[in-house]
Amino acid sequence: MLGKIAQALIGGGVQAVAAAVTPFTGDRVQEESSRHAEMLARFQQYGGEFADRQNRTWWDSFIDGLNRLPRPFMALGVIGLFVWASADPAGFAVAAQAWSLIPEEMWIMLGAIIAFFFGDRTLLSARRGRAPTAEQVGAVLAARARLEKLRPDPVTDPVIDPARYDREMADRGTPLSEEVIREWNRRHGTNSAG
């Protein structure tokens, strides 16, 4: 009899605690079931995108092609940023300084759009009043001016081999290349735009 009372108390107590805690922590079985249903729905959506449809028009094919472009463009764009940073560090630094002026809310919107295209859910917590200050804008413009000085100017900085310049200048039978003309203008203080 004592065993039955203890079992009733312990069993009922465990069930009562579980019933009290579940609304706050969630039911693990229900959560896993929801994730499974969501994943199946996602796979069905992907399957619908690639399934053969009857009576397809050229417009359907065109729109399907457009719908498939954002993912590869975003992936190749990120790789392109790495290539750009390696090929033109000064130009990339100028662009990165300009990107730092973009308000946080716009970055959140961009993240939401990217999350939409990749099919993932995102949780956003937007903060208000994060516009750049006049000091931040001034610092970015000053940094940009300093970085622009690091970029070689094809008009003022010699970008041609001196031996090539001398060869082309000595050869009267062949028209001068654009680089030699720029170098001649630089040496003689002439504006190449005119």
pLDDT in tens, 12-55: 565 665 666 566 556 677 778 888 888 888 878 777 766 666 77
Higher pLDDT, 85 or 21: 85
pLDDT at residue 124 in the model:
43
What is the crossing angle of helices 134-150 and 89-99, to 10°?
A: 170
Average pLDDT over residues 113-135: 62
pLDDT at residue 80 in the model:
94
pLDDT at residue 81 in the model:
93
User: Is the pLDDT reported for residue 123 higher than 90?
Assistant: no
pLDDT at residue 118 in the model:
67
Enumerate the domain spans of the chain.
1-50, 88-151, 154-194
Cα–Cα distance measured from residue 11 to residue 154, given in angstroms and rounded to the nearest whole number = 84
pLDDT at residue 82 in the model:
93
When mean pLDDT is compared over 14-23, 63-72, 109-118, the highest value belongs to 63-72
pLDDT at residue 188 in the model:
79
SS3 content of the chain, % helix, strand, coil (to 5): 70, 0, 30
Q: What is the mean pLDDT of the chain?
A: 76
